[in-house]
Chains A and B, each alone.
Chain A
């Protein structure tokens, strides 16, 4: 087990190194840099001014020097300065992480707490009206883009209540605090919940046909004990895998949700930073997200062993 863990950790480091190279190269392949954008916005270019600015920002240096400058700083915890705001990148990124983390956490919680129970119910009630209704809901969840759902929620809120749940940095009431995160989390988590529901349902259907389930019922176990104790425990592995993958995919959904609900989180900030080609922000943020995804994958792998005792990681 220990050797396995060491191997996985080393693999994680290699993966992160690879990601750092890919991010760095991709950003430089994209046409235009911060200086081009600033001068494009101003509609003029003075070659001397442009050269001075490129020198000031260090983007006139050879790529290998730029990469070394960034990665060595990253390892030391020095993330550099944002080209746009001219503030330390860490100072720009750090306050936004808890916002996105809360939103992502709530979205995943929404996904699991809605998707798993409804998936179980849908499987247990297979072929009933309830099953059909839940399948329609899950299909619509998979079909509705989160930005559109978000806009629908906002429009409906304004039309019905004259209120709008956009981000409030200083909520005064419990309801405001709830609306700040819960509504956008539901908007972004709806698709994920729908997927979780479908995976749970299909996985449960497979398990419910197993001999040991029939045996449990024959022994007189209650429906709840059969469905949740015996069946769900064995059907949960694919669901965990999907939730793990969803955690990684969530960042894509969060970009549009943070934009629609005007939440000053990491995802929207990343898009703006890409628009400005703000390399220190983009590189460090993507690395941060990569670390989260790699760690999430690792955690999911470890959870397999927790949920299924037959799985053992050996040397």
Chain B
């Protein structure tokens, strides 16, 4: 059994050292936090959502079994905290994870929370219940879970097929709230009921989302705020101007690009702004199932042609990160160290030398100064996709590849990629949890729905399982690095950069922590307060 008290002490210490946390003075009760929301989410059900547009406003309605410490920017196994679970323990063979649940917790409609609700939530996620989620984008997270069993009203166990320490990380994600058994998935889309610090009031599509304080919250004295109001403003210029004018207390988290951040700082010099990695990588998807990219030499040439620093300098004024599949350190827990990264072809600092090598590969494949390869570079019709795609096309020119931008509407992007109707694509991949299991299985395992390039390497898949079962994080890291290096060398999905983005809030907003290795897990907002 792990000591919850020890964790609590660690949490208290880390609160004092958290770099992007603003805590000052004695918290004041009251006030409504006003945030603009970047778009109108499809519905209010986090379990069915696949964008942080759902997590940000609705995470405050719920609790998880465990959660990442909301005052520590970096999510890591050391920052896991109990929430609806009071404690947890692994069996000796690490195949059974048991949670002791908190007693006296009530749903917002007054009904008691019990282990049945936990079982219902995960049966729903695993597709084992009578009721079904309309969409279940994270079903694969629970592939290694055999079943959920309860023992009385306040104990629940996860029986695993094999050890998987990362299960706790996934349970701590903002994407894994506990739902009530007695409310249908359909009702949870329109009127969510949770146990969290805020009760749902209303969601007017394209207008606003309102939450109010839960006076019966099981954490006594919390939340500090009377409520939170999200005003949906899809036009970024309007939203930022409104923040500058003081209509909002906070911008939508990680919504401010680096160039816009300078505008805000000049117009609202008192605002507090932080820039953190979003754990969203911009990468290239290559259709290796048809010519010309069925030729590994051409795929390698593309990877060698990348000048990643140029992307970072142009798009982020130098404030983004270069790495492999996993978010690079220091914010990323699992990313390769710089010296290892630079041994991967294309990651070395000498771009010209890399491109000379790429040219030789292209010439070997029959292309050269007199015979260019014409390709369409497909991407989604969103600025964060289009802008790097244009730079990519420019860089590919240096190795005899003439790219033509093929902008695809969002509705058609995934179907197009899924039916392999593209040659070369520029894609963004978000990781809700900074853990290799989430990233490797989802994006690189044979047959995964999100493995857009159909990369399939049975040998490397065995290594996925090996790292996944490793309990010791220090032993697991080198395994992860080797896999990540191999994925880059295989040109499975060349990573160009990991983005960073800014968040700003007014000086009187206290207790905000922006997570530095995930954009999905830090919005409980139970101890935010307004110093005014």
Contacts and interface: CB of A to CB of B under 8 A. Distances in A.
B143 interface: no
B449 A44 contact: yes
Contacts of A269: 205-206
Contacts of A84: 42-43, 205
A32 B238 contact: no
Interface stretch (A15-23, A151-159, A199-207, A238-246): A151-159
A41 B418 contact: no
B305 interface: no
A122 B189 CA distance: 58
A49 B245 contact: no
B242 A166 contact: yes
Contacts of B231: 262
Given A38-B42, A53-B134, A268 B247 contact: no
B137 interface: yes
Contacts of A44: 50, 137, 449-450
Contacts of B450: 43-44
B246 interface: yes
Interface string A142-158: 00000000010011011
Interface in B393-438: 409-415, 418
Contacts of B50: 41-44
Interface in B191-225: 203-207
A31 to B, nearest CB: 5
Interface stretch (A85-93, A217-225, A307-315): A85-93
Given A36-B415, A277-B411, A262 B135 contact: no
Contacts of B319: none
A78 interface: no
A52 interface: yes
Contacts of A276: 42
Nearest to B133: A49
Given A36-B412, A37-B410, A85-B190, A52 B238 contact: no
Contact of B449 (A46, A53, A277): A46
B424 to A, nearest CB: 19
B134 A49 contact: yes
Which bucket holds chain A's interface residue count? 35 or more
Contacts of B49: 42
A166 B36 CA distance: 12
B206 A268 contact: yes
B135 A272 contact: no
Contact of B414 (A33, A45, A162, A277): A45
B57 to A, nearest CB: 15
Contacts of B67: none
Given A52-B132, A85-B43, A42 B206 contact: no
Interface string A207-242: 000000000000000000000000000000000000
A310 B241 CA distance: 54
B42 A31 contact: no
Contacts of B205: 82, 84-85, 92, 269, 272
A128 interface: no
A42 B135 contact: yes
Nearest to B231: A262
B257 interface: no
Determine chain A's interface SS by DSSP, over half rule: helix
Interface string B114-156: 0000000000000000001011110100000000000000000
A277 B42 CA distance: 12
Nearest to B448: A44
Nearest to B428: A43
A43 B137 contact: yes
A264 B206 contact: yes
Contacts of B135: 38-39, 42, 49, 53
A158 B241 contact: yes
A66 interface: no
B262 to A, nearest CB: 16
B237 interface: yes
B186 interface: yes
A86 B43 contact: yes
A299 interface: no
B267 interface: yes
A140 B449 CA distance: 53
Contacts of A166: 233, 238, 242, 247
Contacts of A162: 245-246
B439 interface: no
Contact of A164 (B190, B207, B235, B241): B241
B410 to A, nearest CB: 6
| Most chain A Cβ neighbours within 10 Å, of B137, B139, B410 | B137
A163 B415 contact: no
Interface in A114-134: none
Given A32-B409, A158-B241, A268-B206, A259 B234 contact: yes
Contacts of A32: 409, 411-412, 415
A36 B417 CA distance: 12
A157 to B, nearest CB: 8
Given A164-B245, A264-B204, A40 B449 contact: no
Interface string A71-107: 0000000000010111100001000000000000000
A155 B207 CA distance: 22
Interface string A33-70: 10011111111111001001100100000000000000
B244 interface: yes
A37 B415 CA distance: 9
B415 A40 contact: yes
A279 interface: no
| Most chain B Cβ neighbours within 10 Å, of A38, A86, A162, A275 | A38
Contacts of B415: 32, 36, 40, 45
Contacts of A49: 134-136
B204 A262 contact: no
A110 interface: no
B193 to A, nearest CB: 16
B272 interface: no
Nearest to B408: A31
B51 interface: yes
Nearest to B140: A44
A84 B40 CA distance: 10
A181 interface: no
A260 interface: yes
A262 B233 contact: yes
Contacts of A154: 237-238, 241
A190 interface: no
Nearest to B205: A85
A87 B413 CA distance: 28
A96 B527 CA distance: 35
Contacts of B186: 86
A158 B267 contact: yes
A262 B240 CA distance: 12
A31 B418 CA distance: 15
B235 A39 contact: no
14 contacts: A40-B413, A44-B50, A46-B449, A56-B134, A85-B203, A87-B190, A151-B238, A162-B246, A164-B241, A166-B238, A259-B234, A262-B238, A264-B204, A276-B42
Given A44-B50, A158-B244, 10 more contacts: A33-B411, A36-B412, A37-B411, A40-B410, A40-B415, A45-B415, A45-B449, A52-B132, A164-B245, A260-B235
List 5 A-B pairs, minimum CB-CB distance, nearest first.
A32-B411, A42-B50, A40-B414, A164-B245, A44-B449
